[in-house]
Structures are given as C-alpha cells and as structure tokens.
Amino acid sequence: MTSGFITPTSQRTASRLFRPLSTTVHNSNNHPASSKLRRTRPRNNIDPLLSRLALHPSFKDGALWSTTAGTNEVDTPLTTTAAATNNNDSNNADFDTLFPNKGKNPLTLPPRMRFAPSPTGSLHVGGARTALYNWLVAKKGQLEEEGGKEAAFVLRVEDTDLARSTKGRFWSLGVMWYESENSVLADLTWLGLTWDEGPDTPLGKYGPYRQSERSSLYIAIARRLIAEGKAYPCFCTPEELEAMKLKMEQEGLPPRYDGTWRDADPELVRQKIEAGDPYTVRFKVPPNSRVVIDDAVRGTVSWDADATVGDFILLRSSGVPVYNFCVAVDDAAMGITTVIRAEEHLTNTLRQGLILDALGAPRPRYAHCSLILGEDKQKLSKRHGATSCNQFRLDGFLPDAMINYLALLGWNDGTDNEIFTRDELIEAFDIDRIVKSPSVFDMDKLKWVNSQHLKKFEVEDILGLVQQQLEFLGMVKEGAEEGKLRDFVFASTALAKQMMETTRDAAENAKTVMGYNLPASYADLPDGSEAKEMIEQGNFYGISMKILEMYDAGTFPTPDADNLLAAFMDGSNKAIVEDTVIGGEEGSYPMKYKETMKAIAKDMNVKGKNLFHPVRLALTGEMSGQDVTKQLSLLAMATGEHSVVNADAAGVVPFDARIERLKSFCASIPEQFRVSKAASGGDSAKSDEKSSKNAAKADTTPKEESVTTASAIADPLDGYTGPPITALDIRVGRITKVWTHEEADKLYCEEIDVGEAEPRKIASGLRPYMSAEDMEGRLVLVLCNLKERKLAGFPSHGMVLCASNQDHTEVKLVSVPVEAKVGERVTVPGFDFEGEEGQPYPENKIGKKKVFEQIAPFLATSEYGVPEFCGRPLLTSAGVCTSPIAKGSVA
C-alpha cells in the first residue's frame, strides 16, 4: 500500500493544515506579508506584471488567491468541531464560488477541455492523441455562436510527483517554467495544439496552472473536508500498515485500509498533532457508496467504492497532495466539463468521483480511450521505434499529417475518408464516434497519410522543411552561400517530390543520388541480382565503353555549370516534379543528353530498356531511380566550385571518379557478356521475359522516339517505379445485397459474390452517389487482397473499384462486360498474371507496404472512359472494362 507510507513532518505543517479557514493577510506598507509566500525572484522590474495581476479577479493581497489559500503562517490549534466550521462561514462562500460549474449540468455548458501532462520528457503518441481529442472538442465549441467565448482548451501541468518532474527552473518575462515542461510545450506548439489557458498565462481566469503552485489550495480544501467530517488524519505507522496488509492477504481479502483512525477521539487526535506525530489525511468513503459513470466510450461503468478502495489518502505526511486529489480539485476549480483521457485512468475515476461528490461539484463527462498498440499488439513503447512527437518532427513528418493520423487512432467520421485538414477535423470530430477497440500504430500508414499532405504543397512551400532535414544529416555546410543553398535544396526537393513520404526522403534521396554504388568489379555483384542479370544480356559492356569513349573525347554532355537548374524547370520556370517530364530548352544540357542517347541508340542498334537500363547503371550505379539528367545536375551542384554540400557527410562520388570506377568495372566483365545476345543470335526470350517481370522497375527516362520537345512525356510505364500491377488481386464480382449502414450516413454495406464459398462483406462510401437499387445485381471490379478492417464498426473485406472525375463530385461503378465470369481475375496486357511472379501479394503485404496506394495514381480512365494502368486497359475474359467517366481516376 504505497499510499500509506509516511515521512516525518513538522509541527508547522500540522498547524497549517488545521488552522481556521480564514486566509486573509493584512499587509503593512513596508512589509507585504505576501512577500514571504512567493519564491525569490531575480531583482528585475516586475512592476508591470504586478500591475496587470492586480486587475485579475482572483488576485488578492498581492498574490493569486489559489496560491495563498491556506498559507497564513500563524499556527493555531487543531479544531474539527462544528463550531469551528461555523466560525468560518465567510470563507465558505469563497469555496462555493471556487467551483464554477456547481449546481450546473456540464453537458449543457460550453466545453472546457483540459490536457494535463506530467513534465517528464517529450510528448509521446498516446499523450498527443489525448491532447488532440480535447483540443478538437474545445475548438469546435469555440466556433459555435452560443457560449463560444467560454469554451477553452486548458493546459495543466501535473507536477506534484517531484521524483519524476525535473525541478530545474528559470525565469522568462517574469513567468516561471519547469525545465522539462519545455519539451512538452514545444511538441504541442509544433502540432499546432495551442492552448487558451496554461502555465505561461499567469492571468488565466483559473490559474495558476501548475499543481506545484496550487498546493495551498489543496491543503485548504483538505481542511474543509476534515471540518465537514469527510476526511480525517491517520497516524498509522508504516509497520502498522504493513501488518494490516499481510493480515488481509492471509484472510484472502484485497489489501485496503481498515479504518483504524476513521472515528478516532478528537482529543486523541489533537494530542498526537501537538506531539508532532506524523500523519496522512484520508478521505472518508461513505458507507455502501457506489460510483457510476456513463463513459462516452465504454458505456456505463460502476464501482462498489466501499469494497474497492477503502479510505484513501488525500495528503501525504509530507503535506504533498496525492494525484487523484489534485486532479479532482483542479477539474472542479477550473470548470472542466469533459475529460478525454486514456483507459489506464479509468480506475482513477472512482476516487476522483468520490472527491467531487464530497466537494459538491458536478462530475465532468468522461471518455476513456483505448490504448494504442504496436504492430505486435502490445502497448506502444520505445521498442516499437519512434514514439515521441519530437522524433517524428526530426524524421520529416508534417504536423497536420500527424494530427490527421493521430485522430484516426480510435476515431472515424463514419465514412471511408482518411485524409482531413485541420479545419475538417474540427468540424467532423465527435466524442461519440471514438471507438472502444484498441488501435494499432502503423508507421507505413502514417507515412502514407504524410505523403498525401505533402502532395498538397508546391515545391517552394516545403523548401524550409527539406533544408532542415539536410542540416539534420549534416549534408550542407554551415554558413553556406544563400543562393547556392537554395538552388541545391530546390533541386533535391523537386527531384524527390513525386515519391516523398516525409521531407527526410528528399534528403536521403539526394544522398543516394550523390553516391555511386557500382561495385569495383563484376564479381562483386550478388548472384541473381537484377544488375548482374542485365549485364549478362551483353548490352551493358558495349554501351558503357561508348560512354567512356565519348567522355575521353570530351563529347559526352555534362551539366552546364551556369544553368544547373535547367533539368528541374519547365518552360514557364516552374518546378518539374513529374519524372517523365524533361526540363530545359533547346541547346540545354537535358536536350543535349537526349540527343546523345538517340545517337547511341542508332549507332548501337538498341533502344528502350536495352539502352536506358545500362546507361542508368553506368552513370548512377543504380538500376532504377529518377531522370538521369536531374541526378547528374544535382551531382554537379554538389561537386562544383564553392559547393554548399558537405561531401564527406553526403557520400558524394564526383562524376570523374565514377568514370574511373566504370572503367575498372568494365575491365572485369567476362568476355561472354561483352556482346549482346540479340546481336550474336542468342536467345533473347529470357531477356524479354525478365524485362516484362521487372516492368514496374523500368527506367524513367522517356524513349528516344518520344523526345520531341523540352516537355516530352514518355510511355507512362517507363516512368513507373512502384509495385507490379500483378500484386493486386482484382476480380469480377456480383453485388447480391445492399443495405445502408445504421451509423454512417455515407456508407453502404454490400454482399458481393467473388467466386468464393461465401460472399464478401464490403463497406463503401457510395451512398451519396447512387441508390441501392442501382447497385444490386451489378457486375463490379473488387480488389480482393485487402486485409479485413472495420469501417464504422462494419467488417469490410475488400474494395469496390469506381471511376470518378477530378474533383470527385461524380463517382460511377466500373462497368464489366456482361459475359465476364464471376471470380475471374482481371489482367493487364503486357504482364504475366499466370506464372509465379504474377501471383497477387498476400493481404498483410498489400496493407503494410501500402501497395495499392502506390499503384492507385497510375490507375485512370482514358479519354474514351476505359480504365487503364499506365495506359494499358483492364481486361476480363469477355473484353475490356469501361466507364462513363473519361479522364478520371480509378480507386
């Protein structure tokens, strides 16, 4: 029973607790009594602050009332009689007005929400979600016409646990801060969860907002509870408490205090206090009491208080109040209407409810959210990776994406929408839609959400964030020339923009681009690697030797030092983020490079992947990646005169060093792989088959035939670097039953026959776009290898594919040929769906790797309404699928 342990106390502490309730201190002109009560401050001019404080309604006798209540240093004898209580009727009025919600129903009041962290380090995921939910309710309340000014998000620091809180303090503008508060406050600020009242607002209506600064208030209220017979001093020693615990355990009873001092003789109590005996203050649990709450998340929860907790401690023998006492007093004194917190606090509600009832203050509404779990279904902790908000900031996540994802960890709006702006979250959030089941923190899902938010920004909007990441990794020099630094950051951002999941990806991608991973010799290539198999086709050696010949002759094009941004800008000087779009004007480096590729293709009679894959490996050391002209332009920035790049930290391999390594590598290639198999009459079928299998990793450089202008666009498949389309298990299905979801106004629930023993149950957000009658009996396309998940409580296993216009105001089902077979797999021309490589990915891989999210941007309808992947139609055995929506998206 840790709450029963006692430490020595002083006669002065005892007399403070039991003196009369009057706290009025009369000041003299020269020696204000309140000067004893405040901490020593630096000798700076705080008169302006005091002048502002004097206007505060709770500022009395030189200090805030809540910091002076019960601090009169005049020692008085113990008095617990009714007469003593009656002598302090004037002060009872102060206590009655201390609780602003007294006599009111909190559910009818504007929401006053609170987040109450302990200052023990950075803000972690669970705490951030709690803060967010409370913030959303408060902000929604502030937008309402009636009572909006009274709604508030309160930040309260629960620092009574002195062992865990950092005690180092400093002064700033006359306001004291705990050293370890800074991390939590900084994290909340980064997330944009600004508070209306908190530790940095000394003029807050219900301040101060640190529990350590409210101890006198707790002592004063404890004295009142004693005077009213609702609490009492307990003089049990640690040895007596331990013996009590052992006895109950031997009798098979749950350990709890047995009430030894509950009804003690007042005279005996007075004598022990005068003797200086240490004691705690315990709450007197009413006989046969029961606490019942209607939890917004968990429903009705009740406790038999008398049998569960016994008489619990309010004040330790040191005079320090316990956690539950502070929380209950503060919730009442600050007018908190609703408490949203983690389920681990559910058991605290019993003690807090009893205290609130004893104070005559209404209980706030409670909502206890389920825990956040790691992917191993254990409570989320550091072993699962990054869990602190500061680490997510350092890793390149956006604050808006973080709150978007955190909101989804236990809440949904009743639709399948997963991307929300801050304002949309405020409008949509409702406590009643918080789910009871625990949520699993999925880093891949967070990255996907972050990528969707990044897509909303232009390159210029995120340059500062990418620069931060480059600085975190030490890739740019301190004090670098501003213009050159901005160009490098711009190029790094534009190069990675299309594939970025976090802003750190841009920095990591730049590091990869500036490196060169071609090994020293052919023997160093791993057996079965894509690079080794490509080299063995014989094209790499001849093409590389041609590049080396041209480089030695000075005819191989290199980036123009005076116009290194040419590859990244279009004709209107806007950033190019699409990797299939070629930058530069006529005569620029990108155009010269393309002309060179055309000449090599003609001279060596190679084209397409047989040209571009060898060129890419030779120049960049990689089999896939962004446009080569952009990569080499970024490299030129890193190696040019007065470069801003820290070459060692960035792992830069200059172009001339690459050429030397390429020479050595080519010299190590066996003779049999120095001639193209196609040219020597060898069997090229294997090469063609391998190329088909690796279509998803095809070179992003446009084919030479398509390069006609500075903004030429290649075959979409050449620019595709995501998972193969064969990863998806898209089948023909027939909708057999449709009904509306009882709780979600935008969802239909469907049963769909996809050729399995039982029909699939799938929820879709199609209700605003079509009637149930139009859907029943329709043949549809169903993505079947999605893991089952609950949408608004409905177990949905799969997704119906639809076509929509650009602004998603029109959504239609993809039309399937009437003679298509239910359960057959949809295919795409040019891809092998039959062999081992063509088998769909398992459900867990589809979800964990966000495979569909990577493929989806390349699923679209043509100008004729044909659903396509990278320009190839979706086929069934009965023909091509169609759609009434042209030039739309498919998802």
Decide if 84 is inside a domain: no
Answer whether 814's CB lies under 8 Å from 867's CB: yes
Is the same domain home to 671 and 691?
yes
Per-residue pLDDT tens for 375-409? 777 887 656 655 789 999 999 999 999 999 999 99
Query: Apex CA 134: angle with CA 128 and CA 140, to 5°?
Result: 130
Is the same domain home to 695 and 783?
no
The residue-averaged pLDDT of 310-315 equals 93
865 — pLDDT class (breaks 50, 70, 90): confident
Domain boundary among 658, 685, 719: 719
Answer whether 155's CB lies under 8 Å from 209's CB: yes
Angstrom distance (rounded) from CA 409 to CA 402: 11
Produce one character per residue of 868-881: b if its CB has 16 or more CB atoms within 10 Å, e if not.
bbbebbbbbeeebb
Answer whether 76's CB lies under 8 Å from 337's CB: no
Is the same domain home to 792 and 814?
yes
Is the same domain home to 624 and 756?
no
Answer whether 762's CB lies under 8 Å from 815's CB: no
Answer whether 794's CB lies under 8 Å from 747's CB: yes
Quick one: which H or E segment has residue 439? strand 439-440
Domain boundary among 694, 719, 744: 719
pLDDT value at position 351? 95
Using alpha carbons, list the distances in angstroms from residue 588 to 26, 582, 585, 643, 655: 85, 11, 5, 22, 19
pLDDT value at position 201? 84
pLDDT at 693 over 60: no
Per-residue pLDDT tens for 7-62? 333 334 444 444 433 333 233 333 333 333 333 333 334 344 444 444 444 444 43
Nearest alpha-carbon partner for 696 in 723, 714, 715, 726: 723
Torsion of CA 320, 322, 323, 328, to 10 degrees: -100
DSSP letters of 337-348?
-EEEEEGGGTTH
Instruction: Give the contacts of 422 (CB within 8 A, at least 6 positions apart).
Output: 192, 400, 403
Angstrom distance (rounded) from CA 682 to CA 672: 11
pLDDT at 492 over 80: yes
pLDDT value at position 118? 86
Residue 499 DSSP code: G
- Domain membership of residue 604 as a residue range: 518-719
pLDDT value at position 614? 94
Structure tokens at 526: 């791993």
- H helix runs in 651-704, sequence order: 655-667, 685-693
pLDDT value at position 192? 96
SS3 content of the chain, % helix, strand, coil (to 5): 40, 15, 45
Is the same domain home to 337 and 265?
yes
pLDDT value at position 121? 76
Decide if 178 is inside a domain: no
The residue-averaged pLDDT of 642-665 equals 95
pLDDT at 319 over 90: no
- H helix runs in 776-891, sequence order: 843-848, 851-855
pLDDT at 89 over 70: no
Is the same domain home to 701 and 743?
no
| For the ranges 308-317, 659-668, 718-727, 861-870, the one whose mean pLDDT is highest | 659-668
- How high is the mean pLDDT of the chain? 82
Decide if 534 is inside a domain: yes
Produce one character per residue of 510-533: b if its CB has 16 or more CB atoms within 10 Å, e if not.
bbbbbbbebeeebeebeeeebbbe
Strand (E) positions, 7-109? 59-60, 63-64
CB atoms within 10 A of CB 215: 21
% of the chain surpassing 70 pLDDT: 81
Angstrom distance (rounded) from CA 595 to CA 555: 12
Answer whether 787's CB lies under 8 Å from 847's CB: yes
The residue-averaged pLDDT of 487-515 equals 94
Between 348-359 and 215-227, two packed helices, what is the crossing angle to 10 degrees? 70
Query: Apex CA 136: angle with CA 133 and CA 138, to 5°?
Result: 110
Per-residue pLDDT tens for 763-791? 998 988 898 888 999 999 999 998 888 88
Per-residue pLDDT tens for 90-134? 445 466 688 999 999 999 999 999 999 987 778 999 999 999 999
Is the same domain home to 692 and 766?
no
The residue-averaged pLDDT of 728-743 equals 91
Per-residue pLDDT tens for 181-218? 888 999 999 999 999 999 888 677 898 998 988 988 99
Q: Which residues are catalytic?
A: 382
Domain boundary among 684, 700, 719: 719
The SS3 call for residue 162 is coil
The residue-averaged pLDDT of 494-502 equals 92
The residue-averaged pLDDT of 453-469 equals 95
pLDDT value at position 848? 55
845 — pLDDT class (breaks 50, 70, 90): confident
Decide if 710 is inside a domain: yes
Nearest alpha-carbon partner for 337 in 532, 112, 599: 112
| CATH code for the domain in which residue 806 is found | 2.40.50.140
% of the chain surpassing 90 pLDDT: 58
- The region of weakest confidence among 308-312, 393-397, 514-518, 821-825 is 308-312
Please name every residue paired with 815 in a beta bridge, in sequence order, or none if there are none: 882
pLDDT at 521 over 80: yes
Angstrom distance (rounded) from CA 891 to CA 872: 16
pLDDT value at position 92? 52
Is the same domain home to 266 and 345?
yes
Is the same domain home to 715 and 729?
no
Angstrom distance (rounded) from CA 506 to CA 518: 22
pLDDT value at position 95? 66
Decide if 762 is inside a domain: yes
pLDDT value at position 299? 94
**Sign (positive/negative) of CA torsion 65, 67, 73, 78?**
positive
Instruction: Give the contacts of 398 (CB within 8 A, at least 6 positions apart).
Output: 450, 453, 454, 465, 503
Answer whether 723's CB lies under 8 Å from 851's CB: yes
The CB-based long-range contact list for 253-257 (8 Å cut-off, 24+ gap) reads 255/1, 256/1, 256/309, 256/310, 257/1, 257/4, 257/282, 257/310, 257/311, 257/312
Is the same domain home to 694 and 834?
no
pLDDT value at position 255? 86
Angstrom distance (rounded) from CA 747 to CA 807: 19
pLDDT value at position 580? 74
Angstrom distance (rounded) from CA 831 to CA 834: 9
Number of domains in the chain: 3
- The region of weakest confidence among 243-252, 366-375, 450-459, 706-715 is 706-715
Is the same domain home to 669 and 685?
yes
Is the same domain home to 750 and 867?
yes
Decide if 777 is inside a domain: yes
Residue of higher predicted confidence among 424 and 717: 424
Using alpha carbons, list the distances in angstroms from residue 546 to 63, 278, 543, 611, 708: 84, 92, 5, 12, 24
User: Would the pTM count as exceeding 0.95?
Assistant: no
844 — pLDDT class (breaks 50, 70, 90): confident
Decide if 489 is inside a domain: no
Decide if 504 is inside a domain: no
